[in-house]
Amino acid sequence: MKLTFLGAAGEVTGSSFLLETDDVKLLVDCGMFQGGREAEPKNRARFAFDPKTLDCVLLTHAHIDHSGLLPRLIAAGYTGPVYATPATCDLLEVMLADSAHIQEKEAEWMQKSKARGAGRPPLYTIAEVQRTLRQLKPVAYGAEFRPHPALRCIFRDAGHIIGAAIIELWIRNGSKSRKIVFSGDIGQPNRPLVRDPTPISEADVLVVESTYGNRLHKSMDDTMTELEHAVTDTLVRKKGNVIIPAFAVGRTQEMLYLLVDLHKQGRLPEMNIYVDSPMALKATAITAKHWGLLDPEAAALMEWIKRGRGKPKIHFVQDAVESVNLQNVKHGAVIISASGMCNAGRIKHHLRNNLPRRDSTILIVGFQAAGTLGRRIVDGIKTVRIFGIPVPVKADVYTIGGLSAHGDQAALLGWLGHFKPAPQRTFVVHGEPTASESFAAAIHEKLGWSGVDLPAQHSSVIL
């Protein structure tokens, strides 16, 4: 049995793992690489295997760094099923179409401007996304399914975004059977919207994420206090705007929850909240559709909103003209827009308009991968380039780390603590090198596990 780490090894994005035996060949996740210039050639490279030879694909969740290359896989010849939870299947319909739209528009822009890369086709098209969606096979949490005679699988709630799954996989190789667990992205316990990650008690082999494996998040109380200060200081004292780059799926819905909850408690002033992302509106509707997956407190607050309290006012911005007109709003606005790492989409226009303003505030509420515009802003750069134009950074920048949808070191160790006994082999992935190395050391020192490895990109291990 061979496991190959095709992405998210030594880095955060591009999650993809190939598992092979004499009888079956499957892929867990097929994520897009995100970040600096080095991401583009990785995304355009040929797959390290023949897609036509795959028996099945298992998907942990809908985030593009886990799903974004699925249309390229199908275009390269994969014709089999892609298994995911129902909520993930619904989200993919929105997210992959949005990704294709961005790819097509960027290719069109490069062609018109004769920029570097002009004439290069988009990574994939809307038509290729439609083909991909036809191959999705929804499976509910806790339902055992057999995608191949040699495989038995169960999806468990990962507590990351709605529909996100931990994969329990039993694989038979000859007369032997082994259990492999893929954590996907593990959420932080006691967070709004989603439920806590499901404990798993046993595995022969574990592949675990480590995005925040070297740090601890602030408590939720401290996080809410920081959010309250940042918004109130901007809207009341500075009389400016708050700009929040946020992933359209998960983080946008969480931010709406927190802002409304703080306003309900009397801790935030009257404000206009603009959600400037057509995809976020669709994702919010999907979240409401899968009501039963929500944390009970989140469901109760959504009922309060539905009863028509009227404040704070939430505006979902749809067309581009309405988005551009937000540039005329000089104060009293909280603008939530994608992309979460500031690399594409409408958020770039809002940053270009607000970064030079001392009365505005930029709230960073999610992980910023190395090489992204968001990471440069977090790192304190004084001038950034947006659409090729230098933009001075004069706005206040807050990093609200406690809102991460990824578990911190304590949460990850707590989740691992349910394994009795420890897995024979554990592979630490989905983290920048310092985070993964620190987390691997913590597993060894605090849990006493042996057999903990840090796989390199494109490395293979025999299990």
- DSSP 8-state symbol, 53: G
Q: Tell me what pLDDT residue 176 has.
A: 87
pLDDT at 147 over 70: yes
Q: For the structural domain made of 2-215+405-462, what CATH number should be given?
A: 3.60.15.10
- Half-sphere CA count of 198, side-chain side, radius 13 A: 20
DSSP 3-state percent helix, strand, coil across the chain (nearest 5): 35, 20, 45
Residue whose tokens read 């275009």: 75
Number of C-beta neighbours around residue 153 at 10 A: 21
What's the whole-number mean pLDDT along residues 249-270? 90
CB 262 within 8 A of CB 226: no
Helix or strand or coil: residue 234? Answer: helix
Domain ranges of the chain: 2-215+405-462, 220-403
Q: Tell me what pLDDT residue 403 has.
A: 83
Q: Tell me what pLDDT residue 114 has.
A: 65
What's the whole-number mean pLDDT along residues 88-106? 90
pLDDT band at 112 (very low <50, low <70, confident <90, very high): confident
Q: What is the pLDDT of residues 376-399, one digit of tens each?
A: 999 999 999 998 899 999 999 999
What's the whole-number mean pLDDT along residues 190-199? 90
Q: Tell me what pLDDT residue 118 has.
A: 66
What's the whole-number mean pLDDT along residues 174-196? 92
- Per residue in 197-225, is it b (16+ CB within 10 Å) or e — as a string? bbebeebebbbbbbbbbbeebbeeeebbe
CB 373 within 8 A of CB 203: no
Q: Tell me what pLDDT residue 345 has.
A: 81
pLDDT band at 405 (very low <50, low <70, confident <90, very high): confident
The DSSP line for 251-298 is HHHHHHHHHHHHHHTT-S---EEEEE-HHHHHHHHHHHHTGGGB-HHH
pLDDT at 37 over 70: yes
Q: What does the radius of gyration of the chain's CA atoms come to, in whole angstroms? A: 22
CA–CA separation, 32 and 30 (whole Å): 7
Q: What is the mean pLDDT of the chain?
A: 92
pLDDT at 48 over 80: yes
pLDDT band at 306 (very low <50, low <70, confident <90, very high): low
Query: Please, which residues have CB within 8 angstroms of residue 245's CB and are 6 or more apart in sequence?
Result: 337, 338, 339, 340, 341, 342, 347, 351, 362, 364, 365, 366, 374
Question: What CATH architecture does domain 220-403 belong to?
Answer: 3-Layer(aba) Sandwich (3.40)
% the chain with pLDDT above 90: 71
Number of C-beta neighbours around residue 33 at 10 A: 26
pLDDT band at 257 (very low <50, low <70, confident <90, very high): confident
Q: What is the pLDDT of residues 288-302, one digit of tens each?
A: 889 788 887 777 776
By DSSP bridging, strand 205-209 and strand 425-429 are parallel
Longest dimension (CA), the chain: 70
CA–CA separation, 29 and 61 (whole Å): 8
